Amino acid sequence: MGLGRKLRYGMVGGGPGSFIGAVHRMAIALDGTAELVAGAFSRNPALSKQQGDYLGLNADRVYVSYQEMAEKESQLPEGEKIDFVVIVTPNAVHYPVAKAFIEAGFNVVCDKPMTTTLEEAEDLCRLVKNTALLLG
């Protein structure tokens, strides 16, 4: 039994010129069950906006940082906020981004590696252990 709607997802990373961000967006689009609705695509706000425009996103859902995205998305009504976030940043940033979204109550899909240390990976696993959240 499905949700009766497409899953809404956001992306952190995957800005202009990003190879892996485009690959993830194409893979997610293959079965038509999810749609990109939000993103913090670059640390450079102008590049993030450029990518959001290119992808046809509402300007209000293109964020200047992952912190802003996690905070503002968590404040949206259930029928509007993202269902999950995809992290396609440089490896060293995977942990803080995943942690911020888990703490904000979001499911997380992270490009490999999940983190750069075992301690960070174990911390993320502890964070989701007693929740209904998914971390992949």
Residue-range domain boundaries for the chain: 7-129
**Which candidate, 103, 66, 68, places its Cα nearest to that of 87?**
66
CB atoms within 10 A of CB 44: 12
- pLDDT digit string, tens, across residues 71-109: 999 999 999 999 999 999 999 999 999 999 999 999 999
**Which candidate, 78, 77, 66, places its Cα nearest to that of 103?**
66
pLDDT of residue 1: 46
| Alpha-carbon torsion, ordered 16, 21, 27, 29, to 10 deg | -50
Domain 7-129, CATH class in plain words: alpha beta
Q: Work out the percent of the chain whose per-residue pLDDT is above 90.
A: 96
Q: Rounded distance, CA 130 to CA 109, Å?
A: 18
Model confidence, pTM: 0.95
